[in-house]
Structures are given as structure tokens and as C-alpha cells.
A = this chain, B = another copy of it.
């Protein structure tokens, strides 16, 4: 499994991903799920991936090749971020079809992406690209998108993230969301990658990679656990009253 998260804020985008891949419990590896592209100066994109690793790698390779050989349509020729999302959906679909046709019924070549970035002249945008090639974006009410093992880490996002949240606060919230997920699900694990894209910079932006024993990650995990238990202790007692 996987847990990846993208957050669209008024001031930019936040991306966070784990790095554990597994095909069965005895075939666990570490792969980055956060992909950057060498694009033109007027744009910057980040891609997060979840699902079949072979399909993911094939799609990322194809996107890079199309850039390199300057294919008629590539990430540099896309006029908008959603045009680029459409293109990624098409590349993904084609790649999946190739392996599904081979006819292994239990085989699942599906991948889901979070794709975000900015092209000069427009606002930054964030998309979730489904295995079927279609995609959705964020809204004022739902400023974040998740793929993979999304449930454990969702409650804290719902409570904290608003479009006006600062990039720093959203990045910290992404780490907390990731920590809750790692704690509850074995198939999600470090290194954790965190990248923030600041609006109108067209630069890859600040990036951190946290290993399992990273002091900050451990401190957040420990402090959060302790504060949650403290918060829980301050809750009003149940009044059992006359009911019963």
C-alpha cells in the first residue's frame, strides 16, 4: 500500500508521500513515490503515485521521454495543468491496457496519481488522476487530495486544513497525517518525502526526506501521541444519570 497527500493552498502546494512498496508481506521495498520533471522555466510539476509499481515507472519514464524527445504533446507543451493531467491519464490508461490484454485475471496494473503544479499565467492546481484516466481537482471545501491508505490520516486534515492555512502549517499537518497512518498500517512506511511549492516561484521548492529514525519525525510522533492522550483526558466525563 501507499499513502500520498497533496494540499492546495492559497499560497502554494504541499506534497507528502511514504516510500513503502509491497507485493506480499515478504516482498517489501523502498521506492520514492514523489516524481519531479525537468520542465521549462514557466512551469513546475510534482507527481505522486500509488498502485502498480511497474505501471508507475513506465508512466514516469514515458513522461520524461516525451519531454526529452519533444513529443508533439508533452509536459512542456501543455497549456494548462489540467491538460497535463489529461495527458497523464491517457499515458496511464495505455500502459495499463497493454498488460491487461496479456490476460492475467488476478493481475492489477492500476495506478492512481496526485499531480500538481503551476504554469505561468494561471494559479497552481492539484489533481487526482484515477486509474480510468479521468481526474478531479480540489475545492474551497476540500483543499486536499489523498491516494492509497487514506482513512487513518484524514480526520486531522479535516480539522486543520483550510485554503488559507499557511504552507508551513499544512506541511506540519501532512506529517501528522502520515504519522497516524504509519502507526495504524504496516504497509505505509518511511522514508517520508515532503515538498512544498510556493506560488509563482516556478522552482521545485523546499524538500525534506525523513528516515525512520529522523529526530524531527520521532519528536512529532512522540509529542502528538502525548498531546492526544492529554487532550483526551480533558474531555468531559460521561454522565450516566438515570438512563440505563
Contacts and interface: CB of A to CB of B under 8 A. Distances in A.
A36 interface: no
A63 interface: no
A69 interface: no
Given A183-B155, A208-B243, A224 B235 contact: yes
This chain's copy number in the assembly: 2
A37 interface: no
A102 interface: no
Interface stretch (A38-46, A84-92, A173-181): A173-181
A225 B175 CA distance: 18
A162 to B, nearest CB: 11
Nearest to A209: B243
Given A154-B184, A168-B237, 5 more contacts: A172-B238, A206-B240, A208-B244, A223-B234, A227-B234
10 contacts: A151-B151, A152-B152, A155-B183, A160-B229, A207-B244, A208-B240, A223-B235, A227-B231, A227-B232, A227-B235
